Amino acid sequence: MKYVDEYRDARLARGLVAELARKVTRPWVLMEICGGQTHTLMRYGIDELIPSQIELVHGPGCPVCVTPLEIIDKAIYLAEQPNVTLVSYGDMLRVPGSHTDLLHVKAGGGDVRVAYSPMEALKVAGALPERQIVFLGIGFETTAPANATAVWQARRQGLKNFSMLVSHVLVPPAIRMLLSSGRNRVQGFIAPGHVCTVMGYREYESLSQHFRVPIVVGGFEPVDLLEAISMLVAQLEQGRAEVENQYTRSVTRGGNLPAQKLMEEVFEVCDRKWRGIGLIPQSGLRLRAEYAAYDAEKVFELQDTTVQEPPECISAQVLQGLKKPTECAAFGKACTPERPLGAPMVSAEGACAAYYRYRRHAGAGN
């Protein structure tokens, strides 16, 4: 299959691993910030293939995991209203809120529907004029253009019963936060390929220069990630700190300009709370004032709440790459995909779920 098979080629992969082994002379710590990339690394055992001096840690790249608890609770509140139809991506249904999750609300009679894209929510709004349709618009920059399109279309069509509960997050501020932390061990970043398909990689250049850290935009197949790792290690070994692009078949420096224009039209940057991490300034997107009629927070007059999350699951440390899922006392015992304590175990793109699915026997002498 085009664009995929060549990038899963075992011979190519082995060649890249051998090249890495030749290049690396000392330990390096690398981080990827994309749930999809985390899963590929685990699924194909890339961390077991590469030389042991290279340590891979997983960053807060799962859009489900970092969605703030307050947003989940707000979505649950809305879904429980008798005249509201809540439309969401499937994964969000299983994320634990403060007391329950959307799947249980659905089982209890709430009108909760799964969609593959926000355009489906628009269709539902058109078909059910007597109900209020709310789309749970979460994600990184990757899903923002589609959400922007949906809101823009809703306004163009003059829909009176459609709104979006927005909780977008941006990658570069997260990298800035991680690099500014006194505890940071990460020396090189793999930038997320689909985020950069939309945004380009210009924004990463100032980060790379300011913090003297190499950043390589990577794809999602095993060979993509091995190439990106190889490029990072080359830079580190040579003492360079630049932004390079491995995922050239999808990413350009400027990115997708029409998509960015639409995002700019509908959204503005704001402070955003990341679940488990806390507030990162200027790290989110919200709807502009002109689109207040489509902002679920305004339409339903949702109050801003702060929810206390008692300490048991260590998602925060996992999301920042400070701990591995297997280092959590609850991993695989109190916390499993069937009974998740935290978002990284729920989401198909979460680090804990990846470790649980592919690697949980690793502890037992594998």
Partner 1 sequence: MAQFVCPVPLPAKDKILLGHGSGGSLGAELLRRVFLPAFDNAILAKLNDQAILDVQGVRLAFTTDSFVVKPLFFPGGDIGSLAVHGTVNDLAVGGATPLCLSAAFIIEEGLPIETLEKVVASLHRAAADAGIEVVTGDTKVVEKGSGDGLFINTSGIGLVPADLNLSADRAQPGDRLLLSGSIGEHGIAIIAQREGLEFESQVRSDSAPLHGLVAAMLAATPGRDSIRCMRDPTRGGLSSALNEIAAQSQVGMLLEEEKVPVREAVKGACELLGFDPFYVANEGKLVAIVEARAAEQILAAMRAHPLGRQAQVIGTVTAAPAGMVSLRTALGTMRIVDMLSGDQLPRIC
Q: Scan residues 137-176 and list those touching partner 1 (CB under 8 A).
A: 138-140, 142-143
Which residue number, 275 or 286, has a Cβ lying nearer to partner 1?
A: 275
Q: Nearest distance from residue 61's CB to partner 1, in Å?
A: 10
- Judged by CB under 8 A, the number of residues near partner 1 is 77
Tell me which residue of 33, 65, 63 sits closest to 316, measured CA to CA: 65
Q: Is 347 in contact with 95 (CB distance < 8 Å)?
A: yes
How far is the C-alpha of 42 from the C-alpha of 52, rounded, in Å? 15
By CB under 8 A, tell whether 348 contacts partner 1. yes
By CB under 8 A, tell whether 257 contacts partner 1. no
Q: Nearest distance from residue 289's CB to partner 1, in Å?
A: 27
Please identify, among the stretches 25-33, 83-91, 158-166, 208-216, the one whose residues bind partner 1 according to the rule CB under 8 A: 83-91
CA angle 21, 48, 314 (to 5 degrees): 125
By CB under 8 A, tell whether 218 contacts partner 1. no
Residue choice 4, 119, 292, 329 for contact with partner 1 (CB under 8 A): 4
Residue choice 30, 341, 351, 352 for contact with partner 1 (CB under 8 A): 341
Tokens found for residue 191: 């930038």
Please identify, among the stretches 98-106, 156-164, 237-245, 251-259, the one whose residues bind partner 1 according to the rule CB under 8 A: 98-106
Q: Is 251 in contact with 197 (CB distance < 8 Å)?
A: yes
**CA–CA distances in Å: residue 151 to residues 118, 122, 208, 265, 274:** 9, 9, 34, 10, 23
Q: Nearest distance from residue 257's CB to partner 1, in Å?
A: 20
Residue ranges in 99-128 that form contacts with partner 1 under rule CB under 8 A: 99-101, 103-104, 106-108, 114, 116
By CB under 8 A, tell whether 43 contacts partner 1. yes
Residue choice 57, 277, 287, 296 for contact with partner 1 (CB under 8 A): 277
Residue 324: how many CB atoms within 10 A of its CB? 18
Q: How far apart are the first and last CA of the chain?
A: 33
Tell me which residue of 278, 358, 359, 360 sits closest to 319, measured CA to CA: 278
What DSSP character marks residue 335? B
By CB under 8 A, tell whether 332 contacts partner 1. no
Which residue number, 303 or 366, has a Cβ lying nearer to partner 1?
A: 366
How far is the C-alpha of 229 from the C-alpha of 191, rounded, in Å? 11
DSSP three-state, residue 103: helix
Which residue number, 235 or 315, has a Cβ lying nearer to partner 1?
A: 315
Tokens found for residue 128: 């059910």
Q: Nearest distance from residue 234's CB to partner 1, in Å?
A: 21
By CB under 8 A, tell whether 350 contacts partner 1. no
Q: Nearest distance from residue 322's CB to partner 1, in Å?
A: 9
Phi, psi of 283 (to 5 degrees): -115, 10
Residue ranges in 47-76 that form contacts with partner 1 under rule CB under 8 A: 48-49, 63-64, 69
Which residue number, 240 or 339, has a Cβ lying nearer to partner 1?
A: 339
Q: Nearest distance from residue 188's CB to partner 1, in Å?
A: 22
H/E stretch holding 271 reads strand 267-274
By CB under 8 A, tell whether 179 contacts partner 1. no
Residue 312: how many CB atoms within 10 A of its CB? 13
Please identify, among the stretches 79-87, 237-245, 264-272, 304-312, the one whose residues bind partner 1 according to the rule CB under 8 A: 304-312
C-alpha 362: how far from its chain's center?
A: 25
Tokens found for residue 5: 């098979």
